[in-house]
Amino acid sequence: MTATGRVYDRGYRPYEGELGGRRAARMALLKASMRRALGIRRAWRQKLFPWLLLAIAGVPAIVNVGVAYLTRDRIEGGIDIITYQEYVGVSTALLVFVGLTAPDVVCPDRRNRTLPLLFSRPLTGVDYVIAKVGAIAAIVFAFGLLPQIVLFVGQTLVSDAALDYVADNAAVLWQVPIAVALLALYYASLAVAVSSFATRRIVAAAALLLLLLVTSVAAAILTEGQLEPSAWEAINLLAAPLNVRDLVLDGEVTLGSLAGVNGATGLALGVYALVVGTSLGTLLWRYRWIET
Amino acid sequence: MPPLPTGWETVPVPMLAIDRLTRTYGATSALDGLDAVLEPGVTGLVGANGAGKTTLFRIVLGLTKPDAGTVVVDGIDVTQDPVAVRSILGYMPEHDCLPTDQSAADVVATLGEIAGLPARAARQRASDVLDLVGLDEARFRPIEGYSTGMRQRVKLAQAIVADPKLVLLDEPTAGLDPQGRHEMLELVRRLGSFGISVIMATHLLDDVQTTCDHVVMLDAGRLVASGPTEELLHTTGVVRVDVGGRGQELLAALEHEATLLADGTVEVNIEGEDDVDAIVAAVAGAGLPLHGLTSQRSTLDDVFLAGSASASA
């Protein structure tokens, strides 16, 4: 302290403004969870993997536009390495991102016993579930859609007739966002639900990836050697959102695991609804009462 | 506000009104028809482990439903609108509850935002309350490196960041050394002076006696005693006289019933102020030095033990 310095006790100042209610609490938790998932305000180690994975998810779009640009004068119509439809859910980077970040936004709340601090505020279990699933879904949606936008804008610019390209592909402007949103909801609700049972992040991540891999392998074993497409493919949880993607973009399952199966539309919608519904129901059950 | 009709008068709303509150866990009764009214101020909620303090907090927070009875916080029924109640409450749990990989500044600001503060106000108030609890530059470091005392301060800061009307503190001095305990109790006392009502659950009666305006004592889910601390700590009819270690001489000079204590002071039973004058006269008559004459009062331990005995009788 200098000779002229003086220490002030500023005491306590009451808050004069209005407090938000449940909606504000929910939004604040959602934003905090998104920041955590993306490593914002955290050490660089926590930023590295999420951003690396999200960058990887965008690589095919950039490569596709680059190749289309380089071949625009040599090959009529250019080369499409990947279509908009294939791009929805094709990148495992997004899946790995969900596997890493969903546990990170849920498990520490139980492990550090932070839940009582959250639930002593104007927040309910429903709000908590919406915020956590919403945070992961919002990031997956944003980073699932961004490459598609790069792809669309790039392809438009390198095409011979930009307006014709836009007119020919106008449908994807609404189809792709819906398909990506459905994919994001699927990944987020399943990953957060699995994570809600673990206090350790590594356990939750392993459980999620194991669940997806086991159902995928089980479907492959059950359908092996069959000449006709089999309804057993419905148990493949890894492929389930891609069947729904096909429904949005083509009106029927064309590329997904249920392509050619009788009643594929109903099966695809049923499995999707069952997984998302069960995941959200499980989460609401898990957070109906909070131990303090 | 328009004037009230003639003959009407405003009735102050109690900060917490508990009416026949009952909660059982299987065969165990955590709260057994508890009735209590707590006025604004700093209140000590006293009881041994298992007395029902944490269950009461859980019910006040709307996290546990009572089997019977009601709890009304500042005029709002908890069972009717728990979210509205939580918007005027702050809560400091006893156990570790902080995310250790984040800084105190981040944690308190985030929890302030979740309590309903706008983002900018939350950051500003987080800074203010962390100043208030005495956490300086350390607030920007991850919590995993904090001492127990620093963590307790962060827990207190997050409880008051949104300027609650009532703060529930569960064993705020748990795990603190004597200096840390003293500082924490000083902070709790200051909250009362800021107009924030406090309910401090503890099993340390000394903490309550030195800090709280009111006391509520629980034993096995039942009310043992409650009231203003000063009223509970009534005088006992005993004065202690210090005559510089010459207690034996005082005993000989006194006409009252008296006891010589090991430290050389004398405890004298009295019936009124006249007896005090008589003691002073006896000291002077015997030519003894009068170093001290203090009226002995009951402690909260006495009140708790007496109340427990009569409740179980």
**Residue B156: closest C-alpha in chain A:** A117
Shared domain check, B167 and B41: yes
Nearest to A52 by CA among A112, A19, A119, A100: A100
Q: Do B84 and A122 touch (CB under 8 A)?
A: yes
Shared domain check, B133 and B36: yes
In sequence order, what are the residues at sequence separation of 6 or more whose Cβ sits closer than 8 angstroms to the Cβ of residue A279?
A: A189, A190, A192, A193
Q: Is the pLDDT of residue A69 over 60?
A: yes
Which residue in B90, B93, B129 is closest to A292 by CB distance?
B93
Residues A252, A268: Cα–Cα separation, whole Å = 10
- In this prediction, residue A273 has a pLDDT band, given cuts at 50, 70 and 90, of very high
Strand blocks (E) in A202-256? none
- In this prediction, residue A63 has a pLDDT band, given cuts at 50, 70 and 90, of confident
User: Does B202 fall in a domain?
Assistant: yes
Interval A131-157 mean pLDDT: 92
Residues A171, B177: Cα–Cα separation, whole Å = 68
Q: Are A279 and A189 in contact (CB under 8 A)?
A: yes
User: Does B77 fall in a domain?
Assistant: yes
Q: Do A113 and B96 touch (CB under 8 A)?
A: yes
For residue A102, what are its two tokens?
């969903």
Interval A246-260 mean pLDDT: 89
DSSP code for B4: P
Residue-wise pLDDT tens digits, A141-153: 998 899 899 889 9
Whole-complex ipTM: 0.86
Q: Point out the domain boundary residue: B230, B247, B276.
A: B230
Interval A167-171 mean pLDDT: 90
Q: Do B114 and A29 touch (CB under 8 A)?
A: yes
> For B94-204, where are the alpha helices, taking DSSP H only?
104-114, 119-132, 148-160, 178-193
A119 interface with B at CB cutoff 8 Å: yes
A42 interface with B at CB cutoff 8 Å: yes
Q: Do A123 and B89 touch (CB under 8 A)?
A: no
3-state secondary structure of B92: strand
- B42-46 sheet: strands from edge to edge: B89-92, B166-170, B197-202, B42-46, B214-219, B222-228
* Number of C-beta neighbours around residue A10 at 10 A: 8
Nearest to B122 by CA among B134, B108, B142: B108
User: Does A86 fall in a domain?
Assistant: yes
Residues B241, B293: Cα–Cα separation, whole Å = 5
Name every chain A residue with its beta carbon within 8 A of the beta carbon of B98. 112, 114, 117
User: Does A244 fall in a domain?
Assistant: no
In sequence order, what are the residues at sequence separation of 6 or more whose Cβ sits closer than 8 angstroms to the Cβ of residue B295?
A: B235, B238, B239
Shared domain check, B254 and B186: no
Report DSSP letters for B246-305, one per residue.
Answer: -HHHHHHH--S-EEE-TTS-EEEE-SSHHHHHHHHHHHHHTT----EEEEEE--HHHHHH
Q: Is the pLDDT of residue A1 over 70?
A: no
Shared domain check, B254 and B138: no
Shared domain check, B89 and B25: yes
CA distance A132 to chain B (A): 13
CATH of the domain at B290: 3.30.70.100
Shared domain check, B117 and B45: yes
Please identify among residues 56-95 of chain B the ones whose CB lies closer than 8 Å to any CB of chain A: 57-58, 61, 63-64, 83-84, 86-87, 89-91, 93, 95
Q: Point out the domain boundary residue: B230, B263, B283.
A: B230
Q: Given the structure tokens 């996290």, which residue do they identify?
A: B63
Number of domains forming the structure of chain A: 1
Residue-wise pLDDT tens digits, A102-115: 999 999 999 999 99
A199 interface with B at CB cutoff 8 Å: no
Length of chain B: 313
For residue B48, what are its two tokens?
């041994």
Shared domain check, B249 and B148: no
Nearest to A205 by CA among A277, A136, A130, A290: A136
- In this prediction, residue B7 has a pLDDT band, given cuts at 50, 70 and 90, of low
**Residue A109: closest C-alpha in chain B:** B99
* Number of C-beta neighbours around residue B28 at 10 A: 10
Residues A246, A258: Cα–Cα separation, whole Å = 10
Interval B298-305 mean pLDDT: 77
CA distance A112 to chain B (A): 5
Q: Terminus-to-terminus CA distance in chain B, angstroms? A: 51
DSSP code for B220: T
CA distance B248 to chain A (A): 52
Q: Which of A8-12, A284-288, B75-79, B269-273 has the lowest mean pLDDT?
A: A8-12
Residue-wise pLDDT tens digits, A35-46: 999 999 888 888
User: Does B11 fall in a domain?
Assistant: no
Shared domain check, B243 and B195: no
User: Does B289 fall in a domain?
Assistant: yes
Which residue in B86, B97, B106 is closest to A112 by CB distance?
B97
Beta pairing partners, B227 = B215
Residues A183, A141: Cα–Cα separation, whole Å = 8
B208 interface with A at CB cutoff 8 Å: no
User: Does B49 fall in a domain?
Assistant: yes
Q: Which H or E run includes B197?
A: strand B197-202
CA distance B74 to chain A (A): 16
Residues B17, B42: Cα–Cα separation, whole Å = 15
Domain range for A152:
22-221
Which residue in B87, B131, B163 is closest to A15 by CB distance?
B163
Number of domains forming the structure of chain B: 2
3-state secondary structure of B218: strand
Residue B49 is predicted with a pLDDT of 82
**Dihedral, A37, A40, A43, A45 alpha carbons, nearest 10:** 50
Shared domain check, B71 and B31: yes
Q: How many CB pairs under 8 A join A and B?
A: 117
Residue A9 is predicted with a pLDDT of 56
Which residue in A19, A32, A290 is closest to B117 by CB distance?
A19
Q: Counting Cβ atoms within 10 Å, is residue B171 exposed (0-12), middle (13-18) or buried (19+)?
A: buried
Name every chain A residue with its beta carbon within 8 A of the beta carbon of B132. 10-12
Interval B44-63 mean pLDDT: 90
Name every chain A residue with its beta carbon within 8 A of the beta carbon of B116. 19-21, 24-25, 121-122
Q: Are B82 and B72 in contact (CB under 8 A)?
A: no
Domain range for B242:
235-297
- In this prediction, residue B8 has a pLDDT band, given cuts at 50, 70 and 90, of low
What is the biggest distance separating any 2 CA atoms in chain A, rounded to whole angstroms?
Answer: 92
Nearest to A152 by CA among A129, A172, A136: A172
User: Does B211 fall in a domain?
Assistant: yes
Query: Model's pTM, two decimal places?
Result: 0.84
Mutation site, B114, B166, B167, interface A, largest A CB count within 10 A: B114
Which residue in B99, B110, B190 is closest to A108 by CB distance?
B99
Shared domain check, B271 and B130: no
Backbone φ and ψ for B44, nearest 5 degrees, come out as -95, 130
User: Does B8 fall in a domain?
Assistant: no
Q: Is the pLDDT of residue B166 over 50?
A: yes
CA distance B114 to chain A (A): 4
Shared domain check, B254 and B143: no
Name every chain B residue with its beta carbon within 8 A of the beta carbon of A21. 83, 87, 116
Q: Which H or E run includes B95?
A: none
Q: Do A289 and B125 touch (CB under 8 A)?
A: no
A107 interface with B at CB cutoff 8 Å: no
Shared domain check, B246 and B224: no
CA distance B4 to chain A (A): 27
Q: Counting Cβ atoms within 10 Å, is residue B200 exposed (0-12), middle (13-18) or buried (19+)?
A: buried
Interval B274-281 mean pLDDT: 87
User: Does B62 fall in a domain?
Assistant: yes
Residues A152, A68: Cα–Cα separation, whole Å = 12
Residues B38, B26: Cα–Cα separation, whole Å = 29
User: Does A233 fall in a domain?
Assistant: no
Q: Which of A2-16, A26-40, A110-124, B75-89 has the lowest mean pLDDT?
A: A2-16
Q: Point out the domain boundary residue: B199, B230, B261.
A: B230
Q: Are B122 and B161 in contact (CB under 8 A)?
A: yes
Which residue in B97, B111, B132 is closest to A113 by CB distance?
B97
